[in-house]
């Protein structure tokens, strides 16, 4: 077990700007806008430039226990309590592709009623957003690598199915070669080569680092209740439609709830747990994931027409919405500050949809 004094203290100087970062961010944002317009022309509807396809939108609670050790009592988790939440399950690309194609899946969480100093001066909400994906790392984990990946996407005419099939096939082939050679497989390659499993049984990760009050951490949400633990590793059926993930989520929540354990993996050293390169896996033997709360979602109608419209056209998430105690860290997170704002403005403007930040989970339609 790691002792508390081994955890790296947070400081404002923990981040390091990358070479040509400002210029690269401008290039990424411009490319994202061109791709957004390509996707809009295909669908005649504005979509998110990431996690465009939703599979379920649910409401529930975040329960923070009273017995957290002092080093975990940080930010939102500083005091025991129960907070209303909304969560949106999604697929990572910024277009509507078939669920039969293996891709990264997401869980975006909006926590209501949170008090504390906010990250952004114009944020007058009491909301905290946590954005998680079912891989512990980002294959393109810093601004230069992300720019290279963004160029590939744009050259593919913004169509993620083509890019996803090619990169997935290449990654799976490389993984097999490394296995045969008995060589350790990099975490970033494992993410690209991931299999297509029931998304409710997945473990979701922040991938990049965030401030965790006095420390630095990566966050994750792992299946806890038996109904979702039973779904872990369960292959997505190939004999059903292109929206099979939506169907699986709806079928599950019709009869069952779902509980996830929210966890923090605290940074001990930036040499083995870098802040600026989110493609590198933080070793669990140096710092294990520690429970900090429980997400509880009761059985419900997870994808009614009203929920789909609200979740896709009105609701927005950003890792930069929330407390200063949970500041996103690293160049990938710094890109996201402008990228999420640009995407939200684009989507809401084109769709003539109100950009309204909810004040409580009860605003999610049934």
**Residue 114 in domain:** yes
pLDDT at 178: 34
CB 99 within 8 A of CB 236: yes
The residue with tokens 């970062």 is 21
- Spatial distance between the Cα atoms of 130 and 360, rounded to a whole number of angstroms: 16
Nearest to 74 by CA among 320, 267, 333, 260: 267
User: Are the C-beta atoms of 207 and 282 separated by less than 8 Å?
Assistant: no
- Higher-pLDDT residue of 325 and 148 is 325
Per-residue pLDDT at 166 exceeds 60: no
pLDDT of residue 164: 47
The parent domain of residue 347 ranges over: 4-354
CATH number of the CATH domain containing 269: 2.40.180.10
Query: What's the mean pLDDT when you consider all of the chain?
Result: 89
216 in a structural domain: yes
pTM over 0.95: no
**pLDDT tier for residue 157 given thresholds of 50, 70 and 90:** low
Instruction: Give the pLDDT confidence score for residue 5 in this predicted structure.
Output: 74
Q: What is the number of domains present in the chain?
A: 1
Residues 261-273 have a mean pLDDT of 97
Residue 32 lies in a domain: yes
Model confidence over 21-63: pLDDT tens digits? 999 999 999 999 999 999 999 999 999 999 999 999 999 999 9
For residue 114, what pLDDT band results from cuts at 50, 70 and 90?
very high
What is the pLDDT at residue 238?
A: 86
Residue 337 has pLDDT above 90, yes or no: yes
Residue 100 vs residue 209, higher pLDDT: 209
Average pLDDT of the segment spanning 317-324: 96
Q: Is residue 364 part of a domain?
A: no
Q: CB-hemisphere CA count at 13 Å for 9?
A: 3
Q: Does 360 map to a domain?
A: no
Does residue 112 register a pLDDT over 90? yes
pLDDT over threshold 80, residue 6: yes
Query: Which has the higher per-residue pLDDT, 65 or 239?
Result: 65
In-domain check, residue 132: yes
Q: pLDDT at residue 182 above 90?
A: no
The Cα 337–Cα 199 span in angstroms is 26
Residue 361 lies inside a defined structural domain of this protein = no
Reported confidence tier of residue 177, pLDDT bands at 50, 70, 90:
very low
Assess if residue 103 is contained within a domain.
yes
Asked if 306 and 48 touch (Cβ cutoff 8 Å), the reply is no
């Amino acid at each position: 077990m790691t002792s508390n004094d081994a955890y790296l203290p947070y400081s404002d100087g923990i981040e390091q700007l990358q070479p040509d970062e400002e210029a690269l961010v401008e290039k990424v944002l411009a490319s994202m806008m061109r791709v957004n317009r390509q996707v809009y022309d295909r669908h005649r509807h504005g979509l998110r430039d990431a996690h465009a396809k939703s599979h379920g939108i649910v409401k529930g609670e975040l329960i923070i226990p009273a017995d957290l050790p002092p080093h975990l009592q940080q930010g939102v988790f500083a005091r025991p309590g129960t907070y209303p939440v909304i969560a949106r399950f999604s697929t990572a690309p910024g277009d509507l592709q078939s669920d039969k194609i293996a891709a990264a899946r997401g869980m975006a969480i909006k926590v209501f009623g949170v008090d504390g100093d906010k990250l952004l001066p114009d944020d007058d909400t009491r909301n905290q957003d946590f954005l998680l994906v079912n891989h512990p790392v980002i294959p393109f984990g810093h601004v230069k690598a992300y720019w290279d990946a963004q160029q590939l996407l744009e050259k593919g005419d913004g169509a993620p199915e083509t890019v996803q099939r090619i990169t997935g096939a290449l990654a799976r082939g490389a993984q097999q070669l490394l296995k045969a050679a008995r060589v350790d497989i990099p975490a970033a390659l494992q993410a690209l080569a991931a299999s297509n499993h029931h998304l409710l049984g997945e473990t979701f990760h922040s991938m990049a680092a965030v401030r965790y009050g006095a420390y630095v951490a990566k966050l994750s949400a792992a299946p806890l209740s038996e109904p979702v633990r039973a779904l872990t590793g369960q292959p997505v059926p190939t004999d059903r439609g292109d929206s099979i993930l939506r169907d699986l989520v709806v079928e599950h929540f019709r009869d069952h709830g779902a509980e996830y354990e929210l966890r923090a993996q605290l940074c001990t050293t930036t040499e083995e747990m870098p802040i600026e390169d989110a493609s590198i896996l933080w070793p669990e033997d140096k710092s294990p994931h520690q429970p900090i709360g429980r997400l509880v979602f009761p059985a419900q109608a997870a994808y009614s027409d009203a929920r789909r419209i609200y979740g896709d056209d009105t609701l927005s998430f950003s890792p930069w919405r929330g407390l200063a105690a949970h500041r996103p860290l690293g160049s990938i997170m710094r890109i996201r500050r402008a990228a999420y704002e640009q995407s939200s403005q684009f989507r809401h403007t084109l769709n003539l949809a109100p950009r309204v930040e909810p004040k409580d989970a009860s605003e999610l339609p049934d």
